[in-house]
Structure 1
Amino acid sequence: MRASFSGVSRGTERLVFQGRVPESEWERMRAPRQEGGFPGPVKYGYCAVGAVLEGPSDLIGRAVFCLNPHESLFLAPVGMLTPLPAALPPKRATLAANMETALNALWDSGAGPCDRIVVVGAGVVGLLVAALAARLPGAEVTAVDVDPRRRPVAEALGARFATPNDAPGEADVVLHASATAAGLNLALSLAGDEATVVEMSWHGAGETPVALGGAFHVRRLKLVSSQVGQVSPGRRPRWSHARRLAAALELLAHDERFDLLIGREIAFEDAPRLLPDIFAPGADALGVALAYA
């Protein structure tokens, strides 16, 4: 397969780049088709899109998605290739793994029509889950972020936007995707009585202080984890990973607004020079796509 684009998952790949994958998670956090091992050197990534050069006749020349590290040319089992819907541009398809994460988290949250839903952390994954939640009939969805530059994208995707200082409380469901202790504690503070808070972030090595000494127990809040490695329990008997990935690709195919989430495209050969700045705190780009000549 020859890659045309691959997506950089800034949250997870930043932790890999910084060597912050805990030793206890070295095996569980291996990416599909990863080469090398943690803490490094390691060939990482899982959002490759390209064309099949050799293989079954019905796939040759087809645009496909594959959970594969960043590289221009590679061999992969046929079972790992998912053809793109005809309407889906290859660069937008690099959001597929993140869309799966967002879909899984929304399932884990139990959010429904007319719920007041808050998403703390308006990065790519946070904005994807906000966009999906905004499609629920009557739902009031707010994306919260410290960076006001995320407002136009959030609003274009159908959500309201707020900074932490003006974020709405008494939410029915809160989803946290900022990967910071401050964001998680804010998420807990915005939840209404007996509401669910879904932790989508992976924090990596180190401590994440969580304020459980206040009203957490009195308000009977539910803090649950969401992780894309397994299909959400409520869907698992009927949904395979393949069905979920196909659904994610279809969601991306029919909404060009998702192009707003890919804030930067860089040439693959420039990645060693530019990725350190992209992974630095305060970097302004949302999604990053590596382009292959």
Structure 2
Amino acid sequence: MTFVRATALWMTGPGTVELRSAEVPTPEADEVLVRVLYSGVSRGTESLVFAGRVPASEHQRMRAPFQEGEFGFPVKYGYSSVGVVENGPAELIGRVIFCLHPHQDRCIVPAAAVVPIPENVPEGRAVLAANMETALNVIWDADVSAGDSVAVVGCGVVGALAAHLAKREGAEVTIVDVNTDRERIASALDCAFAVPEEAPRDCDIVVHTSATAAGLATALDCGAFEGTIIEASWYGDQLVPVPLGGAFHSRRLKLISSQVGHLPPEKRAEWTHRRRMELALSLLADERLDVLISGETDFANAATDYPARLGDPNTLCHRFRYF
């Protein structure tokens, strides 16, 4: 058996990371060898993993596909990789694909785990696919329809993509964030923008993605009578106060969790995870979404750049380049 040298990013302790070498074997008949072009850093989830804040109860459920190591550390984590198939089934060789894989420059995965990227989606934008898949699930859970008034509290990547998808459905969408610099994101996506103090208070649907207690309180305030609040944040091991007093009950608000690991019940008969990912990739054929790529660095510098990007609140989707 022959091997190809590979380099991967490993979290070695709370707040520490290093690049490690590995040997990647020749793929089996049902596998592919992928040469990675880009990978995307999902700041929200990866920050919690990097800080060692995955609760023990979630160690199995939070495992990323092809993760190595365990929570806490050392662990190889990540789930947004774009590359070219170098070896494998003939119909896939040379195809540009997306794969849910940690940050690594070459990898072996089952052929069934790679999804070809549509020709009208640039390779560099395709790193948004995992976040788009999450946002798509959020919109399905929210059951957004044309004419709905929707507030999205938290303008990170998932929040911005959820707002974008809600707008595509014909909803009236306001993005709410404490950072007024995010108004340019809302404008690029043809959505209204408001700071929390000026947020609309009569929304049919509110999506919360800020992963803060203050943001959740704002989301509850934004709901109309019998409105729906979709909680799409993940807090790790953080205990979060939820203001269920005041008008929460008299307004008969519904608070619903959304998590990408499972399809909504009403979709499960006809949809698979792969079909959902294929749709997510096709939805990236919109150049306005490039506003969500906040930076790019060489993977060779990842050991230094990764902690810096996770620690910067202005980071949206940071992209590692492997060529």
1:290 equivalenced with 2:323 (yes/no): no
The structure with the greater share of residues assigned to strand is 2
1:187 equivalenced with 2:223 (yes/no): no
Alignment counterpart, residue 99 of structure 1, candidates 129, 132, 140: 132
1: CA distance, partners of 2:253 / 2:62: 29
1:201 equivalenced with 2:236 (yes/no): no
Residue 234 of structure 1: aligned partner: 266
SS at match of 1:117: strand
2: CA distance, partners of 1:23 / 1:32: 18
SS at match of 1:4: strand
Contact 1:130–1:143 (8 Å) recurs in 2: yes
What is the percent sequence identity of the aligned residues? 53
1:7 equivalenced with 2:40 (yes/no): yes
Residue 279 of structure 1 deviates from its aligned partner by 1.6
Counterpart residue identity of residue 206, structure 2: V
Counterpart residue identity of residue 12, structure 1: T
Residue 171 of structure 1: aligned partner: 203
1:128 equivalenced with 2:158 (yes/no): no
Contact 1:277–1:283 (8 Å) recurs in 2: no
Counterpart residue identity of residue 305, structure 2: L
1: CA distance, partners of 2:109 / 2:87: 10
SS at match of 2:263: coil
2: CA distance, partners of 1:274 / 1:6: 13
Runs of 4+ deviating beyond 2 Å: none
Number of residues of Structure 1 aligned to a counterpart in Structure 2 = 290
Q: TM-score, normalised to structure 1's length?
A: 0.97
Residue 235 of structure 1 deviates from its aligned partner by 1.1
Residue 35 of structure 1 deviates from its aligned partner by 0.2
Q: TM-score, normalised to structure 2's length?
A: 0.88
1: CA distance, partners of 2:86 / 2:143: 42
The gaps in structure 1 that reach 5 residues or longer are: none
Residue 19 of structure 1: aligned partner: 52
The gaps in structure 2 that reach 5 residues or longer are: 1-33
Residue 268 of structure 1: aligned partner: 299
Residue 277 of structure 1 deviates from its aligned partner by 2.1
In the TM superposition, what whole-angstrom CA distance separates every residue of 1:158-184 from its partner, at most 9, and x where no partner exists?
Answer: 211111111111100000000111101
Contact 1:3–1:71 (8 Å) recurs in 2: yes
Residue 61 of structure 1 deviates from its aligned partner by 0.9
2: CA distance, partners of 1:162 / 1:287: 22
